[in-house]
Amino acid sequence: MSKIHKIKTPLTDDIIKELRIGDTVYLSGIIYTARDAAHKKLVELLEKGEKLPFDLKGAVIYYVGPSPAKPGMPIGSAGPTTSYRMDPYTPILLRNGLKACIGKGNRGQDVVNSLIENKGVYLAAIGGAAALIAKTIKNAEVIAYEELKAEAIRKLTVEDFPCTVANDMYGDDLYKKGVEEFLKTKK
């Protein structure tokens, strides 16, 4: 039976080990945005041994390029982007302390293995629910790569940001098991 977890960032191994695929997570605290272009830059910094714009230890990265904020709002619409494009960069980030990433769509085997090895989780947010998700983002601040515009790294303060555990540290995959379990009910 899937559980509901209310958790706060930064994440620890103790939090991660409680999370199983299909569980609902309401995340609060600080999370960082990064997508294709920012991932490339972060990994280049790691390879050169340079300091990142934020501390990866226990961190959560959200794959999103938000729409611009209207006056008086912290952010525009902010749903997840497709995650597989970040697959080449995710294992090195996990090895350096990243604990969770949020996106949509399934991950490659290298990422699944790296989540097991480094005790991490992949969380899925609902694609296209961007206006609803924006309501859970209370503050947003560009902290790096402003020139990337929508792709810049933002520090978000979130309250009860809704997502589902899609890959846990035990190697399970909701994209596989969810469909398998559903098809069993049709037999």
Partner 1 sequence: MREINVSELSDAVCKLFIDANYYIPEDVAGSLKKALERETSETAKEILKIILKNHDISASEKMPLCQDTGVAVLFMEIGQDVHFSGGDFEKAIAEGVRKGYSEGYLRKSMVGDPVMERKNTGDNNPPVLHIKIVPGENVKMTAAPKGGGSENMSEVRMMKAADGTKGIIDFAVDRVKRSGGNPCPPVIVGIGIGGDFEQSAILAKKALLRRFGERNADQKYAELEIEILKKINELGIGAMGFGGETTALEVFIEHVPCHIASMPVAININCHAARHKEIIL
Active site residues: 39
Binding to partner 1 by CB under 8 A, coded x per residue (else -) over 2-21, reads --------------------
Residue placing its CB nearer to partner 1 in the complex, 53 or 105: 105
- Are 158 and 28 within 8 A, CB to CB? yes
Q: Is 126 in the site for partner 1 (CB under 8 A)?
A: yes
Tell me the C-alpha distance between 28 and 161, whole Å: 6
What are 18's two structure tokens?
Answer: 């409680």
Q: Is 142 in the site for partner 1 (CB under 8 A)?
A: no
Q: What are residue 121's DSSP bridge partners?
A: 100
- Are 92 and 114 within 8 A, CB to CB? no
Q: Is 148 in the site for partner 1 (CB under 8 A)?
A: yes
How many CA atoms, within 13 angstroms, populate the side-chain half-sphere of residue 138?
Answer: 9
Maximum pairwise Cα distance, the chain: 55
Q: Which of 120, 95, 97, 37 is nearest to 107 (CA)?
A: 120
**In the bound complex, what is the minimum distance in angstroms from residue 5's beta carbon to partner 1?**
16
Applying CB under 8 A, the span of 9-17, 42-50, 91-99, 101-109 interacting with partner 1 comes to: 101-109
Q: Among residue numbers 43 through 82, which ones bind partner 1 (CB under 8 A)?
A: 64-70, 76-79, 81-82
Contacts with partner 1 by CB under 8 A: the residue count is: 45
Q: Is 173 in the site for partner 1 (CB under 8 A)?
A: no
Residues 6+ apart with CB under 8 A from 156: 30, 31, 32, 33, 62, 75, 137, 139, 140
Q: Is 87 in the site for partner 1 (CB under 8 A)?
A: no
Residue placing its CB nearer to partner 1 in the complex, 99 or 107: 107
Name the residues that contact partner 1, by CB under 8 A. 22, 37, 64-70, 76-79, 81-82, 84, 104-106, 124, 126-132, 134-135, 148-151, 162, 164, 174-175, 178-183, 185-186
